[in-house]
């Protein structure tokens, strides 16, 4: 995982509509950047729906929410439409941002070791610097924990 105080690596990825989005597009705003393993899986769906349910609270604080997985643009579009997700979803099939933010890691499931996206969240300040690192977050509580953190700032 990247360290607090580190300049967040910039990237340019496609959103659910195929438009290119860069992290630098959001300079001047606080960003919640969350990485998740896969669209339409139980945990990832609960996490995305929790962000969607809290979206007005993030927006009220001028906070941009961005979700990234290695799924395709088409997969993101279906996922966003199915669950009415109002925030930015970025496709990273080449693992550009996923590797830059060090969330592509060894995972163990039922004794089997494989590489995959570790569910993690970064809070990036208005100047593009990492303010908070949240490794191995829980899908059901991630959005609420971030709102609590932002309220305490």
Residue ranges per structural domain of the chain: 12-152
Phi and psi at 49, nearest 5°, equal -70, -35
Going by C-beta distance under 8 Å and a sequence separation of 6 or more, which residues neighbour residue 148?
none
Give the orientation angle of helix 142-152 with respect to helix 42-53, to 10 degrees: 40
Total-model pTM: 0.96
Which CATH homologous superfamily contains domain 12-152? Glutaredoxin (3.40.30.10)
Give me the pLDDT at residue 109, please. 82
- Confidence (pLDDT) at 116: 95
Q: How many helices (H) and strands (E) does the chain have?
A: 5, 9
List the pLDDT tens digit at each of the 153 positions of the chain.
999 999 999 999 999 999 999 999 999 999 999 999 999 999 999 999 999 999 999 999 999 999 999 999 999 999 999 999 999 999 999 999 999 999 999 998 889 999 999 999 999 999 999 999 999 999 999 999 999 999 986
Q: What is the pLDDT of residue 108?
A: 86
Query: In this predicted structure, what is the pLDDT of residue 153?
Result: 64
User: Measured between alpha carbons, how far is 75 from 34 in angstroms, rounded to an integer?
Assistant: 17
pLDDT tens for 108-122 read: 888 999 999 999 999
Q: How far apart are CA 129 and CA 143, in angstroms?
A: 20
Active-site residue flag, 44: yes
pLDDT of residue 149: 96
Report whether 68 contacts 98 (CB < 8 A).
yes
Q: Which member of 44, 63, 88, 134 is catalytic?
A: 44
Counted residue by residue, the chain has a size of 153
């Amino acid at each position: 995982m990247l360290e607090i105080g580190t300049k967040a690596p910039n990237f340019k990825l496609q959103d659910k509509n195929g438009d290119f989005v860069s992290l630098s597009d959001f300079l001047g705003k606080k960003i919640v950047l969350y990485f998740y393993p896969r669209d339409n899986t139980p945990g990832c769906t609960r996490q995305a729906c929790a962000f969607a349910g809290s979206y007005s609270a993030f927006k009220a604080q001028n906070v941009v929410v961005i979700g990234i997985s290695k799924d395709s643009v088409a997969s993101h579009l279906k996922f966003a439409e199915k669950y009415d997700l109002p925030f930015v979803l970025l496709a990273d099939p080449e693992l550009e941002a996923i590797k830059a933010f060090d969330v592509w890691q060894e995972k163990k499931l039922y004794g089997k070791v494989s590489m995959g996206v570790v569910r993690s969240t970064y809070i990036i300040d208005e100047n593009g610097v990492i303010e908070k690192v949240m490794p191995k977050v829980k899908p059901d509580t991630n959005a609420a924990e971030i709102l609590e953190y932002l309220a305490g700032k």
